[in-house]
Structures are given as C-alpha cells and as structure tokens.
Structure 1
C-alpha cells in the first residue's frame, strides 16, 4: 500500500468539518499570562524574548513605524509557534498552506503600501521611476517596478510555505525509510535514524528562522513606507 506523501498537509476534519481554526488557536495556550504580581520563570523568559525581538525589529524604525511593534511581535510569535506545532507527532502545520500564508502576507503588505502612499506619496511614487532614467526606458521600468511591488506578498507566502513543506517532506521520507530498514538492516536503520534526529534539530531552527524572516521582511516593507 503506497502512502500519499502529502497526506500530512491535508486540512484535518472532524465530523466532516475543518478544524484548522481550532489548530491555529492552540498555540495561544502555550504562552501563559501573568496572574500574580511576581512572574514565574516561564513568563519572565517569554517577556525577555518579546523585548529582545522587539528591539531587533524596531531599531531602525521611526516613531510612526514603531506603532506597529505589537503587531510585529504578535506575528512572529504566532508564526513561530505554529511552525513548531508541526514538529510534534500526529499534528498539522497551518503554515504549510499557501492560502493561509497569503492571507497573512497580502493584508500586511497592503497595509505598508497604503501607509507609504498616505504619508510619503511622492517618495512612494518615486520608487516606480528611478532618477536619471532615459525616456525610452520609462514605460518598461515602471512596468518592472510595478510587477516587483505586487510580487512581494507572493514571495513572502511562497518562501514560508516552501521552506516548511520541504522540511516536513524530507522528515517524512527519512522517517519512512528508517521504519522500512528496521526489519531489513538495523545498521542502516540506525544511520538513517541519526540523520532524522539531526534533521529534526535543523527543522527546529528553520521553524524559528522562517518566522523571523517573514516578520523581518514585513518590517523592512514598513520601514520603506514610513
């Protein structure tokens, strides 16, 4: 019986209804909120990481850009937690769905672009036509810059989807090979198991890095428009 490699990326259902909304809400329970005057170690670590991320993202922004700080910190924590959620056995990774990633990328990108046209209209329009462009090349450059602008949210979503999906597929293939080699060659199975363990550690880093890259690019788009 052949197993579908992409079965783990199908949206799970319960009684015929998709439960992706409940899965997306699950990482919220991983972040405790303080209920006492003194924080415990987990809450203190969570606040320290949030302040560190906020400092790195907002260091180049002006006052107008820093109004997005809460949204950017919430975004990186949400993407990072959902990416890590997919590394648990018998779970589902929402960020492997291109539709969900486009649903995050397009509104964020559109908000940064609208902010730029509202507060820096001349500078935003100047990006479509670099200074000193020869007149015959003006229509072509405007077309190229327009396409590059509209391709930004697609690149954001595809980058996140491709990196998370590729890693999960590779783990699935190596895990299947390890299971198949267990009864055939224990020595080869032990080697593939070591590779699988190293790949799992790599995927742990990739899950956090991709969340940071996605949020950092949104922050850069915001910096260019504020």
Structure 2
C-alpha cells in the first residue's frame, strides 16, 4: 500500500530517460495565446501581483535592491507554476522532490555567501556574533550562527518538498479509498477531496511566497550593508 501511495512521486518513466521532469516546463506551453494580446485580464492580474511583490521585496531588500527583485519575483512565479501544475491530474509534481528544490536553494544561498564573504568580510564575521552577546557566550553563538547559516538551503528545500508531499499523499490516500467506498461515504470523501484541493491550491501559493521571501531576507542581510 505504501509503495503504491508513494509511487505517485516516482519520476522514473523509463530506464533510459525520465520524461516526467518535462512537466517542469509544461506550464509555459499552456499559456493561452490571448495572454500575448495586451491588455487582457490575465496580464492585468499577473502585473498586479508582480507589482505587489516588487514593492514588498524592495522594502525588504532596502535601497540596495538594484534589480534583485526581478530574480525573486521570477523565482516566485517559477515555483508557483510548478506547484500549481502538480495539482492537475496525471502531471508529475516536480516541486515535491529535493532534486528540484535543492537546485533552486543551494546555488542561491551559495552565491549570497560568496558575495558577502568577498565584499563584506568584516560584516559577515560580525554577523556571527549578535550585538549585546556576553563574552562568555560568544564562542557558542559563533557555532550556532554558523550552523544556522549552513542549514539554510536545506531548510528552504525541505520545507517546500515536505509541504508538497504531505497534501498530495493525503489526496492520494483518499482517492485510493474512494474506489471501494460505499454510496453513503463517497459524497463525504468527495467533499473532503474538494476542500483538500482548495487547501493545496493555497499551499502552492503560500510555499512559493515563503521560499521567495526567505530568499529575499537572506539576500538583504548581505545587500543592505552595501548602501
């Protein structure tokens, strides 16, 4: 039962090449032609969302944003597209794999760390010891801050993966049980599935937002001192 339940996350479709990963780019092929006719409602909705995100990310990054909001907004839209596509039937959820999420989190975190240590070395050393820390606790605070910095890409990747897996597992479990359910319980299972679908749609948006906001906050720790 557990093998069948987790087989929905199996990316292997053949021994030679895994075609399931093509779903990562499937969202871009489904953009309707009317999207390119301006102005239209889809474009207006997206532009309003992008402008709101730009204002918020610019506030988090401070005066030294210098176009960094473009990267974080692109990251948000890319994750949101993959999370939303995973809710559709027979489409592989690429964001439920650490291969996908770690590919996004690790290069972003590594580039931030390299930029900070190369350009603001003193600030990065000072950041390891929060202000007001007693001298006796300084070695422990350096160790704790170092560990917290090292686990940041892992926490970003695991957070997104775990949230995507949890909801999909629950929906798969209910879907498997609905096949042999009686006529009295079936409407209840369908109602729960509908509520779970709405909840997963909200999770898809929230997780993309959380990933991009945390990436912005990690960047602001380095970029803000550049003003």
Instruction: Give me the TM-score of the superposition, normalised by structure 1.
Output: 0.89
Cα distance in structure 1, aligned partners of 2:31 and 2:48 = 13
Q: Deviations 1:132-187 (Å, cap 9, x if unpaired)?
A: 44444333221111111101111000000000000000010111122220xxx211
Moved more, 210-219 or 172-181: 172-181
How many residue pairs align between the two structures?
222
Tell me if 1:224 matches 2:221: yes
Q: Deviations 1:40-87 (Å, cap 9, x if unpaired)?
A: 322232222222222222223234324211111110000001001111
Cα distance in structure 2, aligned partners of 1:47 and 1:2 = 43
2:204 maps to which of 199, 204, 207: 207
User: How far apart are 1:14 and its partner, in Å?
Assistant: 5.1
List aligned pairs for 1:46-195, cutoff 5 A: 46-181=46-181, 185-195=182-192
Indicate how the Cα distance of structure 1 residues 3 and 114 shifts in structure 2: closer, same or farther if over 3 A, else same.
Answer: closer
Q: In structure 2, the residue corresponding to 1:62 is in which secondary structure?
A: helix
Q: Judge conservation of contact 2:120–2:222 (CA < 8 Å) in 1.
A: yes
User: How far apart are 1:15 and its partner, in Å?
Assistant: 6.9
Q: In structure 2, the residue corresponding to 1:129 is in which secondary structure?
A: coil
Which has the larger helix fraction? 2
Q: Judge conservation of contact 1:27–1:78 (CA < 8 Å) in 2.
A: no
> RMSD in angstroms over aligned alpha carbons?
2.2
Cα distance in structure 2, aligned partners of 1:32 and 1:146 = 47
Indicate how the Cα distance of structure 1 residues 30 and 51 shifts in structure 2: closer, same or farther if over 3 A, else same.
Answer: farther
